[in-house]
Structure 1
């Protein structure tokens, strides 16, 4: 049974990358009141080319989230996901070009995203984390400073030094008013899943965002990645992921952390471990550490494997999120 408009709890999801768009596809089955606040710090691939050539914000993660929430014909989705294989447009997606055209027509990235969302009749809203042009930097534990989201994993792998912190170069960047309003009325605020330092964390770095999230009445949930990410979270366990979030925000920001406990088939796992990835699991003592920070650990079987790609099971994950809202409402 399909949901009617304005049905279900208000859920704000903050992040970027593949993980966020996968979650949104599941979440829209349980509520129509979704606001996705998406990073615009990426500077690689097709998005990076458009950012450099046209001086616009990178559309890639925005496009993926709009399509995840779209209510449109399969042919239209295939069209917007289509990537050119030859010529000057090689590697560029039609969806990115569509948003770029909207940006030119309306003279505003914010309006381009809104109008693209309207054309595709999406469930909820997709918002860029800011409309200011920002660059992401990382300071490594060896003191090295790296500029550019796409350069960070490569330099971490090259130097073997972990990321100490990430930051942006624009001190005058602010979140959109629509994003702030959505956070204020949210029933649940979700961080991730997605690349820890380059998809989730950049959203914290615009002015006032951490304070707005912290002061919101809604419970705050962090969804930990199923696997570590080479060049970004090598050797990280669950507590390392959580502590990185807290170090870039506030020690008492989170109410819940969700982690997968399902065992990954060996054949699939081997393909990831060859590339340097490892499962992120809750180790003995992790729950006690989280409890000492007043964070409740939620663990469950949460993976979905398709064509040997490990992803979150977005339906089961969405059920957990909706249950948090319901249990909070029952307790009040």
Structure 2
């Protein structure tokens, strides 16, 4: 019997016997409300028993993925880059010597089970005020917790406040700078400055080179059924994680299926004119081949002309899904219509989550045979 049928059977025949607190439910609630309740119980059961998925990235890409995945599983871990040096995060990093909180905050909110008002407050950005202008309230909250408890415990405490399902982990506790060498020989220091230079990135590295992967992040990779890399800025989100000593090694040792989610649009100053295979090749050039089992690429290039023109004015174009070249790189290639293009061309969180969950379900079925 399927677990769904089991729950529905309970709802129809034996709910009052098993759950005394629901004994009088039928007297006060309509049949529709009762069915909705059991449907929610069933969904909660599925989420609690959902696949163990660890995601690696940063920026808006990672939080978008997490918002989609949390509808299917509560067993999620997010490993977040810590090289952000711009905006509110950069100021707090410089002034307080803490790790940048912005991407951590976004991932906490993406996994939160809280009221919309609280999320709105945590995302509030001060428009004026000496010392406050430009700061995000959630960042300041994490900064206060860090001063009181240290960064590790600050993230744990914020997770409790926000009723986070899953865990959010920094890739390392070491303070790092991202440094890019451009093809004209220039060295650009700082994550926020790299895309602004509008040059072709030849090589990326971290300074200092003595950092180590956060132990909790290493465990999350080792325990996962699936590890998702991306989506997100190739150099300043994805490689900013993979270059941390211990991350690539943990991925190679993990028995999880490693899936790379390729971006849907190129990024000026980072991936100008890159195809999907160019994205993967850049990863291999920095951390070696064989790190990825599957690449998921968007194959829906039917984007409204006004949006295409908007992106073209900024120097961005859709990423070409060159599937044949990807297959020559010894990876499984999965394509799907993955974009949402209302105001911006981004991954559709639900479509992307379904693609990942389908892989997890296929793996579980294969293990049962």
**Structure 2 length as normaliser, TM-score?**
0.85
Match of 1:136 in 2: 178
Aligned partners of 1:324 and 1:165: how far apart in 2? 33
- Greater relative contact order structure (CA < 8 Å, 6+ sep): 1
Match of 2:325 in 1: 289
2:318 is aligned with 1:279: yes
More helix by percentage: 2
2:146 is aligned with 1:103: yes
Q: Give the conservation status (yes or no) of the 8 Å contact 1:39–1:129.
A: yes
User: Which consecutive residues of structure 2, in runs of 5 or more, have no partner in the other structure?
Assistant: 1-39
Q: Secondary structure in 2 aligned to 1:87?
A: coil
Change (3 A) 1:250 1:329: farther
Aligned partners of 1:330 and 1:260: how far apart in 2? 26
RMSD (Å) for aligned C-alpha atoms: 1.2
Partner residue of 2:66 out of 21, 24, 28: 24
Residues 273-332 of structure 1, C-alpha deviation per residue, up to 9 Å, x if partnerless?
1111100121xxx323222222011111111123x1122111111111111122223334
Aligned partners of 2:246 and 2:360: how far apart in 1? 25
Match of 1:68 in 2: 110
Match of 1:303 in 2: 339
Match of 2:86 in 1: 44
Match of 2:254 in 1: 216
> 1:45 Cα deviation (Å)?
0.6
Q: Give the conservation status (yes or no) of the 8 Å contact 1:3–1:29.
A: no
Aligned partners of 1:300 and 1:171: how far apart in 2? 38
**Structure 1 length as normaliser, TM-score?**
0.94
Q: Secondary structure in 1 aligned to 2:44?
A: coil
1:212-291 correspondence runs (5 A): 212-262=250-300, 263-282=302-321, 286-291=322-327
Residues 9-63 of structure 1, C-alpha deviation per residue, up to 9 Å, x if partnerless?
0000000000110110000001110000000101001100111111111000110
Match of 1:323 in 2: 358
Query: Which deviates more from structure 2 when the two are superposed, residues 168-177 or residues 194-203?
Result: 168-177
